[in-house]
Chain A
Amino acid sequence: MKNISSEVLKKIKKKGIEPTAKWKFLLKNSILWGTFAILILVGGIAASVVIFKIATNDWDIYMRLGRSFSGFLFQTLPYLWIGLLIVFIFIADYNFKHTKKGYKYGLPTIVGSSILISIILGFGLYGVGAAKYIENTALQHFSFYKDRVFSERVDMWSEHDLGLMAGEILDLVDKDRVRIESLRGDEWMVIISDIPIQMKEQLKPEMIVRVLGDVIDHETFHATEMKPWKGNFLKENKNHMRNR
Chain B
Amino acid sequence: MKRYEKKLFYYIKRITNSSDEDAEDLLQEIFIRVYENLNDFDQSLKFSSWIYRIAHNQAISHYRANKNKAKSFNSEDAALIFERIASDLDTQKDLEREDSKIKVQSLLKQLDKKYRDVIILKFLEDKDYKEISNILKKPMGTVATLINRAKSKFKDILIKNHIRYEP
Contact = CB atoms under 8 A, between A and B. Distances in A.
A235 interface: no
Given A2-B24, A7-B28, A8-B28, A20 B9 contact: no
A7 B35 CA distance: 14
Interface stretch (B67-75, B102-110, B132-140): B132-140
Interface in A1-32: 1-2, 4-5, 7-8, 11-12, 17-22, 25
A104 B39 CA distance: 21
Interface bracket on B: 20 to 34
B31 interface: yes
Contacts of A144: none
Contacts of B1: 4-5, 8
Contact of A100 (B28, B39, B42): B42
Contacts of A2: 24
B131 to A, nearest CB: 13
A105 interface: yes
Contacts of A104: 133, 139-140
A11 B9 contact: no
B41 to A, nearest CB: 10
Given A11-B32, A103-B137, A104-B139, A4 B37 contact: no
Interface string A131-150: 00000000000000000000
A71 interface: no
Contact of B39 (A4, A11, A25): A25
B125 interface: no
Interface in A63-120: 100-101, 103-106, 109
Contacts of B32: 8, 11-12, 17
A1 B40 contact: no
Contacts of B31: 4-5, 8
A20 B138 contact: no
Given A4-B27, A11-B28, A106-B142, A17 B42 contact: no
Contacts of B138: 103
A25 B40 contact: yes
A1 B20 CA distance: 8
A5 B35 contact: no
Contacts of A105: 139
Interface string B1-28: 1100110010000000000100010011
A189 B72 CA distance: 86
A70 B160 CA distance: 51
B98 interface: no
Nearest to A25: B40
A20 B41 CA distance: 11
B38 interface: yes
A22 B2 contact: no
Contact of A19 (B20, B36, B139, B140): B36
A140 to B, nearest CB: 45
A243 B38 CA distance: 67
Contacts of B139: 103-106, 109
Contacts of B39: 19-22, 25
A1 B35 contact: no
Given A1-B24, A103-B138, A106-B139, A20 B42 contact: no
Nearest to B21: A2
7 contacts: A1-B24, A17-B35, A17-B36, A19-B35, A20-B37, A25-B40, A106-B139
Interface of A: 1-2, 4-5, 7-8, 11-12, 17-22, 25, 100-101, 103-106, 109
Pick the 5 closest A-B CB pairs, nearest first.
Answer: A103-B137, A22-B39, A5-B1, A19-B38, A8-B31
